[in-house]
Structure 1
């Protein structure tokens, strides 16, 4: 994992208490698969799942905000113990503000990772906004940081680990697996 962050970004990361994830293009590769009966199928990366679990173990709350609605996302969020799941929400910043109302968090304690224009307002509002190398060029330009891995291929895990590393928690969490 590449950790080229300014001191200012590292300081902002130390205050993060809520990590928010988009789905298509972040937790998946952005491909949409449909069976002949119209049922949608999504593939999730287990590296990303453990990343969310590590955040939770470190006391960081997790949320998923997605523009689409899918039973697969509901099942994945439940399996991971995600604190908030908001589906069918194109206005990601409004959805995020609803989470802040409930959680007591704010922009200064939130990190967000997304890849496309509906994520842009949230990315530029939070303390740490991230994207992926295959994200929309405007989103990548406006983000504070971009992962080296693509969406659905461990990008969310990289995001989780940079948060944990900046907070000095990653090494201890890794040691628990030895």
Structure 2
């Protein structure tokens, strides 16, 4: 069965202007659910938007997977008053209903994981439901407007551990068979399966305070998932790590960057001890390409904006994990990786937000021995795994 997902995005947002493109942990909001969808059991994922900038971004950033596609939605179905169902109906017509299961994913639910998507699909594929949606089991006491309780007896107030609570729709994942959707034109209909997600996924991003709450929840979750093992990969940013972050220009453009020769020797020693070096930078610089060629770093990736998604792909291809990675970054676009890898480092002169989240703040500045210091720490750390 062909399993297709749609992530509807609108260009304009009144609550938080530019919400879908606003950076959460250094990544556009929509990229969190998009990455999970890529590594789920879905066959294809359409970003359905009226924003050409998002379309261009996706084509640049996700070239490494054939699963991600883009489709422009019409202005009428991208207005404030348009329903999500109207966008789904438009999408189904544009793709000529070439799917067996249609999955709706919401960009405003960045806590969605691939397994949540897979569980929703499983309700249809294995449990033979017509549709499925994600819910949260909340233990809140609910009241009606007339002052009467909905879900408990005020004279027999239950303890939390004895209270079943309520299942509340969290708006993250919906799935439906093609037949059910064509019959109802609704995201769910017929027999509906429920997929439970953690209670924190109930927070909706409608204001900047919601944004801060969800970003903190996401940061904490990434850090809790960290695992420590032998470091097999050292992943490095360039500007602000290899260099002091300064770029010298003349009338013809980029002219010079300063690199520390001692860093190169540290990386050579690290490779001799079976740690692969990977360079990942958002800049597309010929000077950087030349320097990495000189250092014989074959895994050099330029122009990578979504570093978390690309690193996930890189490790997946090698049957490895974030636990085997040490990462050095200095700015907000490194944050997701800083919070996820086995060990993260940042130079002494990095931005405050990165220093607050890195595992280790180095004593050396960027472009002045930070990488060499990292190499020496990794060599000492990996010794504990010798002979295992």
Normalised to the residue count of structure 2, the TM-score between the two structures is 0.39
**Residue 149 of structure 1 pairs with residue 360 of structure 2:** no
**Paired residues, number:** 158
Specify every segment of 5 or more residues in structure 1 that has no aligned partner in the other structure, as ranges: 1-10, 170-178
Higher strand share: 2
Displaced runs of 4 or more, over 2 A:
101-105
The reply on whether 1:38 has 2:253 as its aligned counterpart is yes
Residues 1-178 of structure 1 correspond to what in structure 2 (within 5 A)?
A: 12=228, 15-168=230-383
Range moving further from structure 2, 104-113 or 18-27? 104-113
Distance in 1, Cα, partners of 2:331 & 2:254: 24
Q: Indicate the SS of the match to 2:288.
A: helix
Q: Using CA pairs below 8 Å that are at least 6 residues apart, which structure has the higher relative contact order?
A: 1
Instruction: Report the 3-state secondary structure (helix = DSSP H, G, I; strand = E; otherwise coil) of the residue aligned with 2:290.
Output: helix
Match of 1:53, SS?
Answer: helix
Moved more, 78-87 or 150-159: 78-87
Residues 76-108 of structure 1: per-residue CA shift (max 9 Å, x gap):
111112131111112111121122133332101
Secondary structure, aligned partner of 1:20: strand
Separation in 1, partners of 2:234, 2:318: 12
CA distance in 2, matches of 1:121, 1:104: 20
Structure in which a larger fraction of residues adopt helix: 1
8 Å CA contact 1:40, 1:70 repeated in 2: no
* d(CA) in 2 for partners of 1:142, 1:39: 31
Q: Larger radius of gyration, structure 1 or 2? A: 2
TM (norm. structure 1) is: 0.84
Q: Per the alignment, in what secondary structure is the counterpart of residue 39 of structure 1?
A: strand
Unaligned runs of 5+ in 2: 1-226
